[in-house]
Amino acid sequence: MDLPRPFVIRESDHRIHNPFTSGKLATLGRALRLPPDAAVLDLACGSGELLCTWARDHRTTGTGVDISTAFLAKARERAVGLGVADRVRFEHGDASGYVAAGPVDVAACVGATWIGGGVGGTVALLRRSLRPGGLLLIGHPYWRREPPDQATVEGCHATSRDEYLPLPELLEQFGALGCDVVEMVLADQDSWDRYAAAQWLSTRRWLDANPDDELAPAMRAELAGAPARHARYQREFLGWGVFALMDR
């Protein structure tokens, strides 16, 4: 049980596996006004940057669950490097069915709502671990601009335009699920650039080091078109944000 190799290759040097910069992650942590020792559950935690930096900056504790052995190894190294290995722990597993052993103050899924089959299912999953009055964090895409055609939809890694909503409708969806939206921090085009462009360098360096790997032709073809696809589609049409919710 692990992530496909192409994903790991692209994001091998990422600390944050979505279009969120370290500055925006820090802004979110400050905005939530978390008390010391608040317990955080992060499903599909990737390389653990949220848990590790918030443990350092806000003295939270936390558990992260992810399917990627490579990213979890980085998360554990990061925890040691930041001096918070006693405050966070990481589990290898399928986050789609994970429920915390006890109620947590913050239950998060930042950029991986497929673990619940979409926004509604992910909110329902996170609720199973949340204490009354706690915070849900959902990271999710939305349309910045209406896509004009199917090529734009697919260029934004969607199968249909109904897969994402415009920002107002996404916020209304959270309300329809019985949640108040109490904070949000949104990515911008620079955030998208930092996320996407870092993949190109990681891919190129991997190609230089592994020219005879069976994945090399596909990764070479991907790299050849990725910058223009990003500029034409994702950068212009797709937004992304982390939304803090509280049950009504």
pLDDT in tens, 18-31: 999 999 999 999 99
- The mean pLDDT value for 81-104 works out to 97
Tell me if 133 is assigned to some domain.
yes
Tell me if 224 is assigned to some domain.
no
Count of domains forming the chain: 1
**DSSP for residue 140:** E
pLDDT band at 34 (very low <50, low <70, confident <90, very high): very high
Tell me if 29 is assigned to some domain.
yes
Tens-place pLDDT, residues 111-161: 999 999 999 999 999 999 999 999 999 999 999 999 999 999 999 999 999
Tens-place pLDDT, residues 176-232: 999 999 999 999 999 999 999 999 999 999 999 999 999 999 999 999 999 999 999
Tell me if 128 is assigned to some domain.
yes
- The mean pLDDT value for 75-94 works out to 98
pLDDT on residue 101: 94
pLDDT on residue 1: 76
Pairing of strands 130-143, 88-92: unpaired
pLDDT on residue 3: 92
Cα dihedral sign, 10-14-16-22: negative
Tell me if 135 is assigned to some domain.
yes
Tell me if 170 is assigned to some domain.
yes
CATH number at residue 163: 3.40.50.150
- The mean pLDDT value for 63-90 works out to 98
Among 1-5, 43-47, 170-174, 194-198, the range scoring the smallest mean pLDDT is: 1-5
Task: State which residues form the domain around 65.
Answer: 20-187+239-247
**For the chain, percent of residues with pLDDT exceeding 90:** 98
Tell me if 74 is assigned to some domain.
yes
pLDDT on residue 2: 87
Q: CB neighbours of 193 closer than 8 A, spacing ≥ 6? A: 230, 235
Tell me if 213 is assigned to some domain.
no
The rounded distance, in Å, linking the Cα atoms of 141 and 236 is 13
**Dihedrals φ, ψ of 218, to 5°?**
-70, -40
Q: Is 93 helix (H, G, I), strand (E, B) or coil?
A: coil
Contacts of 155-158 with C-beta under 8 Å, sequence gap 24+, read 155/229, 155/232, 155/233, 155/234, 155/237, 156/233, 156/234, 156/237, 156/238, 157/234
